[in-house]
Amino acid sequence: MKIKEKPEDFIVNEVNNLKMVVEGPYVYFLLKKTDLTTEEAVRVLAKKFGIKEKNIGVAGNKDKKAVTQQYISIKTNQKISKFKMQNLELTFLGFGKERICMGDL
């Protein structure tokens, strides 16, 4: 028997203490990804929404060969409530005054 034979064999859920506000420059999402690195997911999202990668904040990098959920912030004026593709999904959580940064776990 092999460990981590397929992404579904390893599941990672991030814990974060986001401080939500009614309005703010950052939009918080829960990012669910499968078989993608965090960097690959950020590149896909930046391209999809026409923003710079540096406008997407993450608290840490997650495994590629896994099903992971992590919190991200996006600095944008666009109204994004949900986004889904084959191996990547965004769920809107709310707004914040601060960018999510490495180590914010």
Active site residues: 63
Tokens representing residue 52 in the block = 């710079």
Q: CA-CA distance, 70 to 24, in Å (whole number)?
A: 20
Grouping H, G, I as helix, E, B as strand and the rest as coil, residue 98 is: coil
**Do the beta carbons of residue 42 and residue 58 sit within 8 Å?**
yes
Strand partners, 54: none
Q: CA-CA distance, 67 to 104, in Å (whole number)?
A: 20
